[in-house]
Chains A and B, each alone.
Chain A
Amino acid sequence: MSAFTFVDRITELEPGAHGRGTFAVPQGLAEFRSSLVAEALGQLAAWVSMAHLDFALRPVAGLAGQLRFLRDVRPGELLELEVGIDSCDETALAYHGVARIDATPVLELADCVGPMLPLADFDAPDAVRQRFGMLCEIGAPIGRFMGISGLAIEVGERGPGKIHAALRIPRDAAFFTDHFPRKAVFPGTLLLDTQIRLAMELARETAAADQDLVARSVSNMKVRSFILPGQEVELRAEIGSEADEFLTVIQVARVDGRQIATARMTITARAA
């Protein structure tokens, strides 16, 4: 399995306390988006917490207090992952982390929380334990991630400082085989990626034509419920505040009229 796994080696681990690992971004990809770097840190934190709780429970996406995107990651680079566990018990995992390339930070996470749910609802605990052993001992084969496809957003209504769009979650996609084997759930980080793309589209409408924009941070991201295969997600992005150097975009995602995720993003001009 490697359709949606972003830790291919655990190099250091103290269950419930901290962990380090790596992910070799496959050379042949067209791109490796920052939301997947955040996913990699989340997956490493999940390993540290599952090992601590003897593979009875696993964390799922919940809250991301702060994500800082420091630089793009390119195919062929080796991600060095490090997470610190702020707390971990039967109810929730709280953690922070940093991803580096050649010792230089490329993404930082802080104040992240994942509610704990029974692991057996999502995966076979023995298989997870076995995979954990492999990641710690010899590592997983690298270069098997093939990218994410088929997640087009359909832009709908536009107005001054706001944009609406729809994201149709496929009924079948390669990433569902890993996320998760017993229960297909649309990854929160792919929702984040979609929301960043929408925020960028909104920002481009207000920025000068020659400005090269980049998403710099995400704060207060909250995933309220699972997004399932076949659902249609209604996305709304609105400019919250605007200054010379940056603008913030408030994001709300709904399914069947119910708010299922919120986030705030900061977009800036890319430094020359």
Chain B
Amino acid sequence: MDMAEAEFTQEEVMVVYPTVAEAMAEALGCDVGQVTLNASLIEDLDGESIDFLDMLFRLERAFKVKIPRGKIIEEARGELAESDFEQNGKVTEAGMQQLRAYLSEVPAERFPSPMKVADIPRLYTTETFCRLVLRAKRSDLTAHAHR
């Protein structure tokens, strides 16, 4: 995936943010006021892996899009080969660069070093979910255009 293509304006993010925040509050049973744009699902809002799945399905239903769960990490590594992105379950230096670009909304200090691939979802913020929705919507539009 071309990373430049992954960029969205803040206005685009803010269009989907209220619905994403509502879905996140419902998934976590918390007040929607706690779901700020840069709140991390797992670190700040005490979410767990099941909440992550819950969020994806809620967003799919709310926005009528498909978010390919198995492909999120694949998207994150972009054009890097799997072996260049991760080794022994840990993200490589080249992988980290790619990941920081893909998750540009996540503050740099939140990226641990070394980072396990399995821990990547721990970085996800409300804005990350907004961007997942925007990518899925764009992907749907592209698919329709090619039909």
A interface residues with partner B (beta carbon < 8 Å)? 62-63, 87, 89-92, 94, 111, 113, 115, 220, 222-225, 262
A113 with B70, Cβ < 8 A, contacts A220-B26, A224-B48, A262-B29 known? no
Mark out the residues of chain B between 91 and 112 whose CB falls within 8 Å of any chain A CB in the assembled complex.
Answer: none
CA of A223 to CA of B53, assembled, Å? 12
Is B57 in contact with A89, judged by CB distance below 8 angstroms? no
Question: Within 8 Å CB of A111, what residues of B?
Answer: 57, 61
Report which of A63, A220, A225, A262 forms a contact with B53, defined as CB distance below 8 A.
A63
Q: Considering only CB atoms, which chain A residue lies closest to B68 in the complex?
A: A89
Report which of A62, A87, A90 forms a contact with B50, defined as CB distance below 8 A.
A62
* Further contacts, 10 of them, CB under 8 A, given A91-B69, A224-B48: A62-B54, A63-B50, A89-B69, A91-B53, A92-B53, A92-B57, A94-B57, A222-B51, A223-B50, A225-B48
CA of A62 to CA of B57, assembled, Å? 12
Q: Mark B69-88, 1 if CB is under 8 A from A, else 0.
A: 11000000000000000000
Is B54 in contact with A113, judged by CB distance below 8 angstroms? yes
| Band of interface residues on B | 10 to 19
Enumerate 7 A-B pairs (CB-CB under 8 Å) in ascending A order.
A62-B50, A62-B54, A90-B70, A92-B57, A111-B61, A113-B53, A222-B50
- B49 interface residue (CB < 8 Å to A): yes
Is B70 in contact with A89, judged by CB distance below 8 angstroms? yes
Is B29 in contact with A115, judged by CB distance below 8 angstroms? no
Is B69 in contact with A115, judged by CB distance below 8 angstroms? no
CA of A111 to CA of B26, assembled, Å? 14
Is A91 in contact with B57, judged by CB distance below 8 angstroms? no
CA of A91 to CA of B50, assembled, Å? 11
CA of A113 to CA of B51, assembled, Å? 11
Question: Within 8 Å CB of A262, what residues of B?
Answer: 29
Q: Considering only CB atoms, which chain B residue lies closest to A92 in the complex?
A: B53
Question: Within 8 Å CB of A62, what residues of B?
Answer: 50, 53-54
Question: Within 8 Å CB of B48, what residues of A?
Answer: 224-225
Q: How far is the CB of B68 from chain A (nearest CB, A)?
A: 8
Question: Within 8 Å CB of B26, what residues of A?
Answer: 220
Q: How far is the CB of A98 from chain B (nearest CB, A)?
A: 19
User: Which of B26, B53, B68 has its CB near the most chain A CB atoms (within 10 A)?
Assistant: B53
CA of A183 to CA of B61, assembled, Å? 33
Question: Within 8 Å CB of B49, what residues of A?
Answer: 115
Q: How far is the CB of B45 from chain A (nearest CB, A)?
A: 13
Q: How far is the CB of B15 from chain A (nearest CB, A)?
A: 25
A63 with B57, Cβ < 8 A, contacts A220-B26, A223-B50, A224-B50 known? yes
Question: Within 8 Å CB of A220, what residues of B?
Answer: 26
Question: Within 8 Å CB of B53, what residues of A?
Answer: 62-63, 91-92, 113, 115
